[in-house]
Amino acid sequence: MRFTVEDGRLIGRERNETLLVEGWGRDAFRVRGTLNGVFSEAPKGLEAAENPAEAYLTPEGAVIENGKLRCVVHNAGWMEFFAGDRLILKEYYRDFRWANPHSPSMKLEAREYRGEGSDWRVTARFEARDGEKIFGMGQYQQPNFDLKGCVLELAQRNSQISIPFYLSSLGYGFLWNNPAVGTAAFGANMTVWEAKRADELDYWLCAGDTPREIVEKYTAVTGRAPAFPENALGLWQCKLRYRTQEEVLEVAREYKRRGIPLDVIVIDFFHWVRQGDWAFDPVYWPDPAAMVRELREMGTRCMVSVWPTVDKKSVNYGEMLERGLFVRTERGSGQLYDFRGDTVIYDALNPEARAFLWEKIRDNYYKDGIDLFWLDEAEPEYIAYDHDHFRHFTGPALKVGNAYPREHARGFYEAQRREGQTDIVNLLRSAWVGSQKYGALVWSGDIQSTFEALRDQLSAGLNIGLAGIPWWVSDTGGFFGDVRDPHFNELLVRWFQFSAFCPVLRMHGDRGPHDIPNLSDLNYGGGFADTGRPNELWSYGEEVYGILKKYLDIRLSMRDYIKAVLDEASRNGSPVLRAMFYEFPEDPRCWELDDQYMFGPDYLAAPVLCQGQTEREVYLPAGIWEDIHTGERLAGPVTVTRATPLDVMPVYRREG
């Protein structure tokens, strides 16, 4: 490989490949490779950053340095990365033709480009490291917290969120800076990244002495969450689904009568006439402005569900079709989704489509005082996730589709900022790199009401926080539940206890059985869709109500603390749900724990994740810890066995 140095950037050329390594933020490099001769100007997940690196040539190849991080590019073309003198990452290299052109060779490249034209199937291979632990990557519905050994699809699905950044126990962070659909495999023999369609290889990595330092550097170049609204720190009430204006007000009035503060109440889907109308059905919502005024007088904000789907009978379909504002199909029918309507999907990657959608939202909701939006189906959800079948304004879904949820959040956030709003938080079912800077509260999707699903949410919440998303929540009790299940109340209590120590406490779920008659026999409008059973705090009997109220009161007593933790997320990117090693990186035991976590810096939470569990072990690291239920003080490091009757989830406060 032939090397040149230009303005501190290292450029290598060999055969048809051009390789570019440059400083991108503190102790960090951005690495790109292409066969196209020139690099894309698209930042993808990265924001602009300083380039403080220094590069120079050596007899063995070339070196580029940026603070703690050093990259060595060998004459044979493969790279190694060092933090000081310690190797942290190395490209996979088994090709010996450079040493002896006539010797046998595996012909397996660390950087591989296959395809035609200017787009390629891009693959990057790295050596596996014994003992390395991998965390982050967004949200996957699995109990694995340590992702070493996992194969992960890089694609958005309902309840699966691909954010291709990981934090390594070896002291570095790595971002696959590419919104393409693909795969990441953290194998025992090698790590392999693949983008199914891309114009270049593009990744970013940094070195750091602690997980906190790594996350801070990563969010410095991808963005951080804004200030979280103080008027949304308490209880969010939601169910499938409040069907009328009066139903919403009755619930809010009952919370008021019981003296329970209600920060947010949510109006779910099919409050409209047809998907894509983005407006209330006036039959069931005759005066939304009056409803919002009464809710505000009770101290409650109102959120409405906004779907990206547009029924072909919608009042907006014709204009949007003519203006080219939909995701397109590559062949056959243009239908993209078929849930209670023949629908297409607006294209959030098209700025004109984002502007069109906000215009409707402003006129039909925002002007009535509704300033919180539930951006459901934000992956977006298709009839089938055949990504090679879809095309966006900026290119094929295989190449750019993973960025859809971030741009969807961006459209709303930037429009609300233009309106002068500052207390912005919108609920989304998906995210990508940088979603956090657009006020995205990400929830974990339509999950089952089981203890297995509850266990998965702990790993999901911890990993998505390490991938840069500090605002995260799950459906308390799971989404698909049936109140006839004899174990449902126990599950709901355990889930609520966990949710009380999450960034947001939100009641939601589709509670069966579905035996409540519809309000209308029509196959459209606000009266035809199902509604679930009641899902308020008092809906499950006095014993459950007492426990839920107890944990809500605990959370409300911590409002100042929770606000301070969320403020820290805005300052340095720290997650709210924190892996134990985030606060105690020097404690080897904390790198092994996957069933307890830190809620900010001071509270250790150990949720009960198994049905019928009456005690559990809790590890307390070094320090003095106070049981918030009993006041008992314990000195760590120590493992204790804590009794867990139904009204107790172990929580300890760290002194000092």
Which domain, by its residues, includes 41?
2-222
| Tens digit of each residue's pLDDT (9 = 90 or more) over 297-344 | 999 999 999 999 999 999 999 999 999 999 999 998 888 888 888 999
What CATH number has the domain bearing residue 507? Answer: 3.20.20.80
Residues 515, 616, single domain; the answer is no
Mark whether 446 is an active-site residue: yes
| % of the chain exceeding 90 in pLDDT | 94
Instruction: Kindly state whether residues 94 and 235 are assigned to the same domain.
Output: no
Residue 194, pLDDT above cutoff 90: yes
pLDDT band at 100 (very low <50, low <70, confident <90, very high): low
| Pair (211, 285) in one structural domain | no
**Tens digit of each residue's pLDDT (9 = 90 or more) over 419-433:** 999 999 999 999 999
Question: Of 379, 456, 475, 627, which is the active-site residue?
Answer: 379
Task: Please check whether residues 241 and 200 belong to one and the same domain.
Answer: no
Tell whether 321 is covered by a domain: no
Determine contact, residues 25/214, Cβ cutoff 8 Å. Answer: no
Same domain, residue pair 422 and 478? yes
pLDDT in tens, 306-316: 999 999 999 99
Residues 236, 298, single domain; the answer is: yes
Establish if 390 belongs to a structural domain: no
Q: Is 376 considered catalytic here?
A: yes
> For position 637, which CATH number holds?
2.60.40.1180
637 within domain boundaries: yes
Whether residues 262 and 134 fall in one domain: no
Evaluated on CA atoms 390, 394, 398, 404, the torsion sign reads negative
The Cα angle at residue 482 between residues 478 and 487, in degrees rounded to 5 = 80
Shared-domain flag, residues 111 and 141? yes
Lowest mean pLDDT among 47-51, 140-144, 271-275, 474-478: 47-51
Residue 265 lies in a domain: yes
Classify each residue of 383-409 as buried b or exposed e, where b means 16 or more C-beta atoms within 10 Å of its C-beta. Answer: eebebebbbbbbbbbbbbbbbbbbbbb
Reported as a pLDDT band with limits 50, 70 and 90, residue 42 is: confident
Q: For residue 116, what pLDDT band results from cuts at 50, 70 and 90?
A: confident
% helix, strand, coil for the chain, step of 5:
25, 30, 45
| 104 or 529: which leads in pLDDT | 529
Residue 612 in domain: yes
d(CA 185, CA 198) in angstroms, rounded, equals 18
Query: In this structure, are 116 and 15 located in the same domain?
Result: yes
Mean pLDDT of the chain: 96
Instruction: Say which of 65, 311, 376, 377 is annotated catalytic.
Output: 376
Asked if 561 and 600 count as a contact pair (C-beta separation under 8 A), the reply is yes
CB 434 within 8 A of CB 428: no
Strand order in the sheet with 264-267: 472-473, 440-443, 426-428, 372-375, 301-306, 264-267, 235-237, 505-507
Closest CA to 390 of 315, 311, 337, 338: 337
Q: What is the dihedral of CA 518, 538, 598, 650, to 10 degrees?
A: -140
Check 47, 95, 294, 446 and give the catalytic one: 446
Instruction: Please report, for the domain that includes residue 66, its CATH number.
Output: 2.60.40.1760
Same structural domain, 531 and 479: yes
Residues 370 and 519 reside in one and the same domain: yes
Residue found under tokens 């970013």: 204
Per-residue pLDDT tens over the stretch 119-171? 999 999 999 999 999 999 999 999 999 999 999 999 999 999 999 999 999 99
Residue 193 has pLDDT above 60, yes or no: yes
